[in-house]
Amino acid sequence: MKKKDSKIVLPHEKPVWECDKTIREIKEQNQKNGLWAEEEIEALEEKLKELKQKVYSQLTPWERVTICRHPQRPHSLDYIKNIASEFEEIAGDRTFADDLAIVAALAKIDGQNFVIIGQEKGKDTDSRLKRNFGMPHPEGYRKALRAMQLAEKFKLPVVTLIDTPGAYHGFTAEERGQGWAIAKNLFEMARLKTQIIIAVIGEGCSGGALAMGVGDKIAMLQHAYYSVISPEGCASILWKDAKKNSIAAEKLKMQSEDLLYLKVIDHIIEEPEGGAHHQPAMVYEGLKQFILTSYNELKEYEISDLIDARYEKFRAMGMFEIVHS
């Protein structure tokens, strides 16, 4: 990917960017010399519109992964700040430390109180290092669980925002019980006595994502992905070649449409042409409406019925074909 005019341009976007740049230059020149007729400029803009439609309607699974990983894509804190009128962060796991890869907050959305928990990658080098690139340690998952149990205690609905390349896999994480922390979250979320609404806003990779992914309503942004492994990791295992990531991205069936068909998710939140970073306000509003609509539906259920339905939901996930020899 290349950085041009302070925007990072992905390889598949280059023709669109070049065309848009040419039109902008023509308009600037026209203010001085007036060489181009309005009809000619309108024709160029129509061609740009057609080019965008062609490029963005024929995206490959791997190109969608690059959109999902775009450095300028909104992250959890961006969503929280833009959909909540008020929020107050919750820090620490009361056991070891405050993992900044997890953001937890008491928040108010359209007058309704929620507990929102998100995986945060950071925006620049300093914040990405501070947030460990969105890869939580065990204390991060314990912090998330503490916030969920607080929500249960005060009868507040929970919202989780998933955006991680995976749980941190270093020695220190294993030393402090990474596997146990993830398993504990899965167990407790399955029986948490409050509504749980989940949105995959970016990368949803492996157990690091699933540790915050057990709930009653699950949505994905259109170009997010949700998978047991990254395309590069899959390619390294199956073909011993990480460069076959584009093949792996296709075979993993990890895009939103695939997962809606397989009933792993319930809803797709549409993104603007080219991805959420092109028009963040659109996805902020889409996520906000999904949260409020889901809560209004879920609050009508008795908690015991909700937990039973949650269990059945995950038991029924996926499709299987039995082949008789």
DSSP assignments along 218-246, one per residue: EEEETT-EEESS-HHHHHHHHSS-GGGHH
Answer with the residue of higher pLDDT: 160 or 52: 160
The 8-class DSSP code of residue 10 comes to: P
pLDDT at 317: 85
Rounded to an integer, the average pLDDT of 232-257 is 94
Cβ within 8 Å of residue 290, ≥6 positions away: 197, 199, 217, 219, 267, 269
pLDDT at 25: 87
**Is residue 284 predicted with pLDDT exceeding 80?**
yes
pLDDT at 212: 97
- What pLDDT digit, counting tens, does each position of 91-125 carry? 999 999 999 999 999 999 999 999 999 999 999 99
> What span, in angstroms and rounded, lies between the C-alpha atoms of 311 and 300?
18
At residue 5 the predicted structure's pLDDT band, cuts being 50, 70 and 90, is very low
pLDDT at 3: 55
Residue in the block written with tokens 């011993």: 240
89, 103 in Cβ contact below 8 A? yes
Residue in the block written with tokens 């339905």: 309
pLDDT at 87: 97
Computed over every residue of the chain, the mean pLDDT equals 93
Structure tokens at 261: 């068909």
Closest CA to 105 of 115, 120, 95, 119: 115
Structure tokens at 15: 């023709």
pLDDT at 31: 78
Closest CA to 303 of 158, 146, 181: 158
pLDDT at 215: 97
CB neighbour class for 286 (10 Å; exposed up to 12, middle 13-18, buried from 19): buried
**Is residue 268 predicted with pLDDT exceeding 70?**
yes
CB neighbour class for 300 (10 Å; exposed up to 12, middle 13-18, buried from 19): exposed
> What span, in angstroms and rounded, lies between the C-alpha atoms of 131 and 213?
20
Q: What percent of the chain has pLDDT over 70?
A: 97
CB neighbour class for 101 (10 Å; exposed up to 12, middle 13-18, buried from 19): buried
DSSP H or E run through 251: helix 245-251
Cβ within 8 Å of residue 78, ≥6 positions away: 280, 284
**Is residue 4 predicted with pLDDT exceeding 90?**
no
Domains of the chain with bracketed CATH: 2-58 (no CATH), 66-315 (3.90.226.10)
Rounded to an integer, the average pLDDT of 19-48 is 84
**Is residue 193 predicted with pLDDT exceeding 50?**
yes
CB neighbour class for 237 (10 Å; exposed up to 12, middle 13-18, buried from 19): exposed
178, 168 in Cβ contact below 8 A? yes
Rounded to an integer, the average pLDDT of 166-175 is 94
pLDDT at 2: 55
**Is residue 225 predicted with pLDDT exceeding 90?**
yes
DSSP 98-126: --TTEEEEEEEETTEEEEEEEE---SSHH
At residue 37 the predicted structure's pLDDT band, cuts being 50, 70 and 90, is confident
> What span, in angstroms and rounded, lies between the C-alpha atoms of 317 and 290?
21
